[in-house]
Structure 1
Amino acid sequence: MKIEDYELLIKLNEIGTIRGTAKAVLISQPAVTQRLKYIEEYLGVKIFIRTSKNLVLTPSGEMILEHAKKVLEQERALKNNLTESSEEVQGTLSIACSSLVSQRFLPAILGEFTQSFPKVTIDLVTGISEDIKNHHKDYHVCIIRGSKLKESTCIRLFEDPLYIYDTEPFPRNNVKERPLISFKSDDSMHELVDNWLYHHQDAILPQKTIRVDQIETCKQFMKQGIGMAVLPKSVSDSMMDEYPHIPLTLDGSPVTRDTWVCFQEGIRKLPQVDEFINVLTQQDFL
């Protein structure tokens, strides 16, 4: 079996459907089905049972998945050891990055990095910080927002102040009642906003909450006058001269979101990882 076969089995187990896996790995559903059929015929056992909702591992499948994880772990360890022994900066750099950071800052950072180290292959995954934390050991470097990772080395990259925006002014002496537009984020972001609203309900009272998937959608809804939106400075600084806004503060201190780069102890022995962290920590984000 090929390494790609083991990777496919792990992805099938994570996602739980042929269709979702095909979309994630960018190949057709029939190709995924055919590859799974070949693997099961090669090993002589059924790995998954198809139910109406998802794929379920058989007892044999559980054994095979454990073996697949060990194979991939050994493969990564071998590549890391080979890269570490090389004097030239090369190899694969795996990064898991918060969607906000990947959209706002990472393109320029990776542009600078790949220009300096063209032989490094970038393996990038983006998403919500909470999801990244759950799988942080799968990556060389994690760039997350909110609280830092436990049992990891973490360097704070920047503090990101939060502001609440609207197309309508924020009155000083009256309660502002408007819909609140919320974008998909991790729990820590929602807790910050909810806590701030609780302490300012005498001034701002959301009529209802409108939930959208992306922060950019949230911004556009706010600009169309649909409601208020709490946005970090990193993605809204260009809007400050155009739209009414107030900073989120509690007890006179700004409410902020920390952004961290986190990694496992010893991983900086890999030259490509060490150089990327150096580039990252030298950036002026805000």
Structure 2
Amino acid sequence: MKIDDYDLLLRLNEIGTVRGTAKQILISQPAVTQRLKYIEDYFDEKIFIRTSKKLIPTPAGELILKQAKNIIEQEQNLKNTLAKSSAEVQGTLSIACSTLISQRYLPSILAAYTKAYPKVSIDLVTGISEDIKKDYTKYHVCIIRGEQLKEGICEHLFGDPLYIFDTEAFPKNQLKERPLISFKSDDSMHDLVDHWLYYHQKEIKPLKAIRVDQIETCKQFMMEGLGMAVLPKSVSHSLMKSYPHMPLKLNGAYATRDTWVCYQEGIRNLPQVDHFIQALLREKYD
């Protein structure tokens, strides 16, 4: 059994389907099924029962999953100990990052980081900030948007002003009635938009809501004239010159989505983590 095999079992248990797991780890579904069969043959036990909705661990499977978790944790602890004792920066760096930040800023930051520290292995998970907050203890570093974590240490990276865009103009002293397109995000984003709309209900009235899963889809729908969309400045630079827009302001101040780097007390004792956090704090977020 390899470490990757134990990791696969934990991912299958967490995600609940072979298809979903294959998609996340970027290998084919038959390959995942074949590896699972090999592991079950190795232990001579059925690890999961397949139902129409998800995989359910068998009693033997629960014991094996517990062992898998222990082995992964021991491996990680050993790597961290070696990283601390080595003069050269190495080990594993686990990151959970907001999808928007992972697409817009993280590639260039990680490119420079891995060039400087080629022996560090990167383990990256992306998703919605609310989901990351629930499992923040699983990662060395979390990069989230909206409200900061109540636990741990959070350092502010940047504030991202929000703008409302449309293919049609925003007339002054006249009620604008248009559909409002929104993308999947955490509650704090939707609360912020709802709060702004409440104080501007004499100027803007959403006729209906159109909800999409991705921010890029939201942009494309707006560009095709399906309705208005509230977008962060970080992903809408290219729209500023071509589409009518206005900033979301309350009492003269911009409404912004704050981005934070969060981590647990003491984790910066790991050199690979400390250097990455330093890189994040040095970055200029335009």
TM-score, structure 2 length as denominator? 0.94
1:175 correspondence with 2:175: yes
1:147 correspondence with 2:160: no
Q: How many Å separate the matches in 2 of 1:62 and 1:199?
A: 53
Moved over 6 A (4+): none
Q: How many Å separate the matches in 2 of 1:29 and 1:244?
A: 45
Q: How many Å separate the matches in 1 of 2:31 and 2:283?
A: 43
2:222 aligned partner: 222
Which structure 2 segments of 5+ residues have no match? none
Which structure 1 segments of 5+ residues have no match? none
- Count of residues in Structure 1 that have an aligned counterpart in Structure 2: 286
1:128 correspondence with 2:131: no
TM-score, structure 1 length as denominator? 0.94
1:281 aligned partner: 281
Letter of the structure 2 residue corresponding to residue 37 of structure 1: K
- Please give the residue correspondences for 1:196-275 in structure 2 after superposition, counting only pairs within 5 Å: 196-275=196-275
Deviates more, 1:57-66 or 1:6-15: 57-66
Q: CA deviation at 1:30?
A: 2.9
Root-mean-square deviation (Å): 1.6
Q: How many Å separate the matches in 2 of 1:116 and 1:129?
A: 28
- Please give the residue correspondences for 1:21-170 in structure 2 after superposition, counting only pairs within 5 Å: 21-170=21-170
Q: How many Å separate the matches in 2 of 1:32 and 1:133?
A: 28
Q: How many Å separate the matches in 2 of 1:103 and 1:244?
A: 25
Q: How many Å separate the matches in 2 of 1:239 and 1:27?
A: 36
Letter of the structure 1 residue corresponding to residue 100 of structure 2: L
Letter of the structure 1 residue corresponding to residue 25 of structure 2: V
Q: How big is each residue's C-alpha offset from its partner over 1:88-127, in whole Å with a ceiling of 9 and x where there is no partner?
A: 1122222111111111111221222223223322222222
Q: How many Å separate the matches in 1 of 2:243 and 2:57?
A: 52
Q: How many Å separate the matches in 1 of 2:25 and 2:110?
A: 23
Pick closer, same or farther for the CA change 1:276–1:219 going to 2, 3 Å: same
Query: 2:9 is paired with a residue of what secondary structure?
Result: helix
Q: How many Å separate the matches in 2 of 1:123 and 1:58?
A: 29
Q: CA deviation at 1:161?
A: 1.1
